[in-house]
Amino acid sequence: MASAYALLNRREEARAALKLWRRSRRALLTHPPSGIGVEAVTQLELSNIPESYEFPMKWSYEHRSVRERLFDGMHIAALPLETTVPSLVKTLKGDDPFARLSALTTLGRFGPMAKSAVPALIAALDDELVAVCERAVLALAQIGPAARDAIPALRALPEEAVISGHTKRAIKRITGD
């Protein structure tokens, strides 16, 4: 539920659902099943949920993209509410390469909701760090058709670049070809 709310850009509800789930899991592990623990859920606990969550079913290969979007939604639900697409774009324009890499990963998780970040992602394609360029390509792919404005910049990337495979997949995902 938290993931679905997050992917619908209902972040407060998403975060509340994730907190409720975490408190109920904690109660089952530490208390008799009579009630849900009322202890506050920390940001660290929320951030770790997507990394440790196991779906109760196995996903077939052809449904991998659905599983990935659900995990993206869980990551978004776990973010502090002040982490927004505009705040991530601001981070992307900063000097800290590790913060920029993290911002790129998170922007990609927002998928089509990060459409307003496309110009900043296009600019990141020219970054001197290959890892930044690569993550910008991956983020544009996750934004999908809403990143159509990035197609010329993606096509202009060198064919022999290390990220060439990612670039081809991003173009395919954006254009739907």
How far apart are alpha carbons 34 and 23 in whole angstroms? Answer: 13
The stretch 159-167 carries a mean pLDDT of 81
The stretch 83-97 carries a mean pLDDT of 96
Q: Is 84 helix (H, G, I), strand (E, B) or coil?
A: coil
CB 100 within 8 A of CB 130: no
How far apart are alpha carbons 103 and 90 in whole angstroms? Answer: 9
All domains in the chain, ordered by first residue? 1-81 (no CATH), 82-177 (1.25.10.10)
- The pLDDT, as a whole number, for residue 37 is 47
Would you tell me how many other CB atoms lie within 10 Å of the CB of residue 135?
25
More confident residue, 160 or 115: 115
Window from 21-35, 99-113, 132-146 with minimum mean pLDDT = 21-35
pTM of the entire predicted model? 0.84
More confident residue, 55 or 170: 170
DSSP 38: -
What is the CB-side half-sphere exposure of residue 31 using CA atoms within 13 A? Answer: 12
- The pLDDT, as a whole number, for residue 44 is 83
Sort 105 into a burial class: Cβ within 10 Å, 0-12 / 13-18 / 19+.
middle
| 131-134, Cβ contacts within 8 angstroms, sequence gap of 24 or more | 131/97, 131/101, 132/97, 132/100, 132/101, 132/104, 133/157, 133/161, 133/163, 134/162, 134/163, 134/166
How far apart are alpha carbons 50 and 130 in whole angstroms? Answer: 27
Query: Nearest-CA neighbor of 8 among 113, 124, 101, 141?
Result: 113
Query: Nearest-CA neighbor of 25 among 3, 41, 4?
Result: 41
The stretch 70-86 carries a mean pLDDT of 93
Task: Please provide residue 10's backbone torsions phi and psi, each rounded to the nearest 5 degrees.
Answer: -110, 70
Q: What is the pLDDT of residues 117-133, one digit of tens each?
A: 999 999 999 998 989 99
Q: What is the pLDDT of residues 24-66, one digit of tens each?
A: 777 666 654 544 444 678 888 888 887 777 777 777 878 788 8
Q: What is the dihedral of CA 75, 163, 177, 64, to 10 degrees?
A: -40
